[in-house]
Structure 1
Amino acid sequence: MRKPLVHFLASRDNNFNLIRFIAAFGVLFSHSFSLAMGSSDTEPFKLLFGMSFGQIAVDIFFISSGFLIANSLFVKKNLLNFLWARFLRIYPGLFVALLFCVFFVGVYFTTYPLEEYLMDTQTYIFLAKNAVLFWGEEARLPGVFESLPWAGVVNGSLWTLPFEVRAYCLLVFCSIVIHRVIVWSKHTLNDRLLYLLIPLLGMLIYISDYFYTFLPISYFSSEDFRLYSLFFIGTACYIFKDSLVLSKHIFYAAVVSLLISTIHIDLFFIVYNVVIFYVIFYIAYIPKGWIRKFNQYGDYSYGIYIYAWPIQQSVIAFIPGISPLELCLYSLLITALLSYFSWHCIEKKALMFKGRVLFKSKI
């Protein structure tokens, strides 16, 4: 079967919920090694492939997000309603998770006297900065988890959310600029190629920096290029949705190429960055049958993502010296309960407001 991506967009029946759930588990799995051992270098995927399960999971999130968010923006054609929908998806669940971190986890585990903890400005910097996200995350609460192997970090998973929020804004900005450029050029330029140029240049810089390390403050700069480029790879796939064909032969070739590339970390890095987007979209839309039943249970990936780290740190505080696999199991059970609550009591209810037409103006 060879069908273009656009063929599948009319229906919401796909495997993205399952893909995001597995990705969220991947982040929890990776962090179990980092947090239990105090180093990310012990994670099995990183030892084998040069990148952790958590990094692969974040890549999956950003490619999927770029695709789905582009669909939301260009279908709605209404900037304010688009931003309102994004707010409802991210912030209500996040606000509750932050309150949980500050007034439950922080209050219980802080080594400060309770009054001093509640009066410390760092407590409310954590709350306020993470509630906004756009200017980055704040990982520390006063006196919390300071003696653990990964010391002092209350919720390290939040570091990707500012990138996500800024990527939404960057997509809006680029769509407006590209539209103006096309109008200015009197349609002599191809807007589809401009959307493709953004991730191609970004990935070229990211991959080049991987081998030659030329960016200033290279780690943080390369993360910028990596995450925004992955997001815009997803966007480009949406823009070329009528041309991007999902074929089992291409999918099998991509998977075989990945397997062969594992003979060398650098080779895997290159092949992985070339084919990962195709593997994601094929799995998202082609496998059907029993696998689609996962959709009826809800979308627990975000809840797992925002609760896993503080739960893992709490488990380590209760059970010093716990092994990574034990930590993964115990924290998954607790985090799954919290993500169930987050989806059914917070996120799902918030999303009910998304369908309301609040603003009439178009982009």
Structure 2
Amino acid sequence: MRTVGDFVKGKDNNLNLIRIIAALTVLMSHSFALSTGTPQAEPLRHSLGMTLGDMAVDIFFITSGFLIVKSLISRANIIDFIWARVLRVLPGLAVMLVVTVLGLGLYFTRFPVLSYLFHPETWIYLLKNTSLLAGAEFHLPGVFQANPIRGVVNGSLWTLPFEVSMYIVVAALWLCLYMLRLGPKYFKYIIVLLTFLAGVVKFTAYSLDMSSEFIRLFYMFFMGGSFYVLRNYIPLSRKLFWLAMIFLVASTPHQGIFFFVYNLILAYGLFYVAFVPAGVIRRYNSVGDYSYGIYIYAFPVQQTVAALLPGVGPWAMFALSFALTLPLAIFSWNVVEQHALNFRPFFSNTTRSLLEKLRPTPA
């Protein structure tokens, strides 16, 4: 029986397709909240205790954990790893923030232009969301104040500081083991251990009704990482996949049971779909990776639709927002993100040269 490890070489898989579907699922889920003014309107929130958007974010973090741990283990170079992460996240984000602040913000603000531009909240929004080290900022002065979800410019940004914190944990763990002269084997052991501990905390917190977004996303991220670490021991079986799906559907009448089943089998179902189905769906790999652009642009576009078309329904908002967001995502990938990644060798080599010059010379 073939394992996950048999499929991980190369990029001929369905991960890009899964990520863009997840990004569109977030867009669709948010359309209900942003058009009605209440997050309670998002599909599945009442029946399952989580929304389709929540599930999509979980999928993002599982795939991210898998790819990030794969990247670090295969590169075995922390400088290359750090620059790869910085150039994947920040350039596209920075351009989106400038477009939002100087485009949408200036158009929709109730403040005079100079008051808006020099307002502390404007610069806090720009700088805090660029750094992502102190959480996300959601408000620009006087913007979207009449919308059903009042004043929130880009609610999707809340996940990015968590994502960056996962990168920092992984990089710090690698560096600590390097300084202790311990090999990648110990890194792999700790990834699996962290997943187990996060799962224990997550399920215990749920039982005690003490939910935590950090624990939830930490568990998902490191579950993805563990699937890479244990890739040669995890079989991808059609029977196991459909058995897992049957258990998942059967658990939906009870939120508590669904929570446990969902968290235990989501990663397996995700990687089965990512690696096993082939054929015509693999053609999507010839298209760019638009998922990040859709994710970071969708929310402000949806708020724009809500501001320009008061009373717009959720499905109309979804259709209009998708039509407006996709070109922005295509622009982001082709003009910003893809080109930024090409600078990784330059920045990595420059960093290594600087560190070499700073290294003390032997007496």
Match of 2:34 in 1: 35
Match of 1:285 in 2: 275
Match of 1:206 in 2: 202
* RMSD, matched Cα: 2.0
Distance 1:59 1:108 in 2: 34
Distance 1:337 1:191 in 2: 40
Q: Is the deviation greater in 342-351 or in 60-69?
A: 342-351
Report the CA distance between 1:205 and its aligned residue: 1.4
Report the CA distance between 1:355 and its aligned residue: 4.7
Conserved? CA contact 1:178–1:194, under 8 Å: no
Q: Which of 329, 333, 337 is 1:343 aligned to?
A: 333
Conserved? CA contact 2:26–2:53, under 8 Å: yes
Q: SS of 1:245's equivalent?
A: coil
Q: SS of 1:242's equivalent?
A: helix
Distance 2:80 2:173 in 1: 18
1:177-216 aligned within 5 A: 177=176, 183=182, 192-214=188-210
Distance 1:287 1:94 in 2: 32
Which amino acid counterpart does residue 309 of structure 1 have in structure 2? F
Distance 2:127 2:190 in 1: 37
Q: Which runs of 5+ in 1 are unaligned?
A: none
Which amino acid counterpart does residue 39 of structure 1 have in structure 2? T
Conserved? CA contact 1:179–1:191, under 8 Å: no
Report the CA distance between 1:353 and its aligned residue: 2.1
Which amino acid counterpart does residue 211 of structure 1 have in structure 2? S
Conserved? CA contact 2:78–2:175, under 8 Å: no
Report the CA distance between 1:181 and its aligned residue: 7.2
Which amino acid counterpart does residue 112 of structure 2 have in structure 1? P
Q: Percent identity?
A: 43
Distance 1:49 1:22 in 2: 20
Distance 1:181 1:258 in 2: 43
Match of 2:55 in 1: 56
Q: SS of 2:270's equivalent?
A: helix
Match of 1:247 in 2: 237
Q: Which runs of 5+ in 2 are unaligned?
A: 356-363
Match of 1:163 in 2: 162
Which amino acid counterpart does residue 224 of structure 2 have in structure 1? G
Q: CA offsets per residue over residues 262-300 of structure 1, 9 Å max, x none?
A: 121221111000000001111111111100001111111
Report the CA distance between 1:175 and its aligned residue: 3.1
Q: Is the deviation greater in 28-37 or in 103-112?
A: 28-37
Distance 2:133 2:278 in 1: 38
Which amino acid counterpart does residue 210 of structure 1 have in structure 2? Y
1:50-89 aligned within 5 A: 50-89=49-88
Conserved? CA contact 1:3–1:245, under 8 Å: yes
Q: 1:315 to 1:191 in 2, by over 3 A?
A: closer
Which amino acid counterpart does residue 20 of structure 1 have in structure 2? R
Report the CA distance between 1:42 and its aligned residue: 1.1
Q: CA offsets per residue over residues 55-75 of structure 1, 9 Å max, x none?
A: 000000001000100011111
Q: 1:176 to 1:245 in 2, by over 3 A?
A: farther
Match of 2:343 in 1: 353
Conserved? CA contact 2:140–2:153, under 8 Å: yes
Q: Is the deviation greater in 33-42 or in 205-214?
A: 205-214
Q: 1:77 to 1:41 in 2, by over 3 A?
A: same
Q: CA offsets per residue over residues 161-190 of structure 1, 9 Å max, x none?
A: 01111100101222344567794xx99x96
Distance 2:172 2:339 in 1: 30
Conserved? CA contact 2:31–2:315, under 8 Å: yes
Which amino acid counterpart does residue 302 of structure 2 have in structure 1? Q
Report the CA distance between 1:213 and its aligned residue: 2.6
Give the number of equivalent residue pairs.
352
1:314-329 aligned within 5 A: 314-329=304-319
Match of 1:147 in 2: 146
Distance 2:133 2:7 in 1: 33
* TM-score, normalization by structure 1: 0.92
Q: CA offsets per residue over residues 224-271 of structure 1, 9 Å max, x none?
A: 111111111111111111111111111111111111111212211110
